[in-house]
Amino acid sequence: MLFGIFFAFWRFMEIITLIPTLGMLAYFVHIYASNNALTPNYILVLFIVSVLGAAWAIATLFTYHRSKHNARFVSFIDICFVGAFIAGVYELRGISGENCSTITTSAPYQINFGIGSLTFDSLHFTANKQCSMLKASFAFGIMNCIFFFITSMLAFFHGNSKEARKETYVRSESHYSRHGHRRSGSHRSHRSSHSGTRRHAYV
């Protein structure tokens, strides 16, 4: 029960961060494709990983009952996505040092209140849209490295606990069957000796 709650929560976190990521990166892929240019690796790698990661997260969330029976396989695929997201973030690492917004000041202006006045400095905020989108995708990529690692560990330990319970059940069943066999054998030997005694008494 707890596995299902935690697993579903982190899957939702993966989905709600991956959908904006692949949407923003698809914007850049479309620009390059419409101009018959090759999409750079620092965009293409993270875009492909985000598409595959979102599809995998949605599939394992909506087929949870099937996924929990293959917990070790889900854990393996998730840890592979951790490596893939690390590669995508590494390719896009150049955007981390960029400043995507600037704040400039212009000539101050004054407001007169009749009995006094107040002077304000005029501030202008400008942001580079493309730079901001790439930096957001970079941040979401780092977050999904952590999210997929968490779901991988959850699935791994859930798979181990299931195997431990199954092994304990098999051992208990085999012990019970051996014990029952011994008891039935002792009953049969007791009955045969008892019948032999009675037969000897009648003779």
Identify the CA nearest to 159 among candidates 68, 64, 76. 68
Confidence (pLDDT) at 190? 47
Confidence (pLDDT) at 64? 72
Confidence (pLDDT) at 43? 95
Classify each residue of 7-17 as buried b or exposed e, where b means 16 or more C-beta atoms within 10 Å of its C-beta: beebbebbeeb
Residue 100 lies in a domain: yes
Identify the CA nearest to 86 among candidates 145, 43, 15. 145
Does the pTM of the predicted model rise above 0.75?
A: no
Residue 196 lies in a domain: no
Confidence (pLDDT) at 157? 86
Residue 193 lies in a domain: no
**Is residue 73 within 8 Å of 44, Cβ to Cβ?**
no
**Is residue 85 within 8 Å of 60, Cβ to Cβ?**
no
Residue 112 lies in a domain: yes
Residue 95 lies in a domain: yes
How many structural domains does the chain have? 1
Residue 114: count other Cβ atoms within 10 Å of its Cβ.
Answer: 5
For residue 16, what are its two tokens? Answer: 């709600």
Residue 165 lies in a domain: yes
Confidence (pLDDT) at 69? 76
Helix (H) or strand (E) holding 33: helix 2-34
Residue 198 lies in a domain: no
CA separation for the pair 171, 178 (Å, rounded): 11
**Is residue 60 within 8 Å of 14, Cβ to Cβ?**
no
Residue 197 lies in a domain: no
The one-letter amino acid code at 6 reads F
Task: Report residue 122: phi and psi, to 5°.
Answer: -80, 125
Confidence (pLDDT) at 122? 59
Please name the residues in contact with 154: beta carbons below 8 A apart, sequence gap of 6 or more.
3, 6, 7, 10
Confidence (pLDDT) at 82? 97
Kindly list the distances between the CA atom of residue 146 and the CA atoms of 139, 143, 203, in Å, as whole numbers in the listed order: 11, 5, 86
Helix (H) or strand (E) holding 16: helix 2-34
CA separation for the pair 99, 126 (Å, rounded): 11
Confidence (pLDDT) at 146? 97
Confidence (pLDDT) at 70? 84
**Is residue 118 within 8 Å of 110, Cβ to Cβ?**
yes
Give the distance from CA 62 to its chain's centroid: 14
Q: The domain containing residue 109 runs over which residues? A: 2-187
Q: What does each of the 203 residues of the chain score in pLDDT, given as a tens digit?
A: 677 788 889 999 999 999 999 999 999 999 999 999 999 999 999 999 999 999 999 999 888 777 667 888 999 999 999 999 999 999 999 998 888 876 666 666 555 555 655 555 555 556 688 999 999 999 999 999 999 999 999 988 876 654 444 444 444 454 445 555 455 555 454 454 444 444 443 33
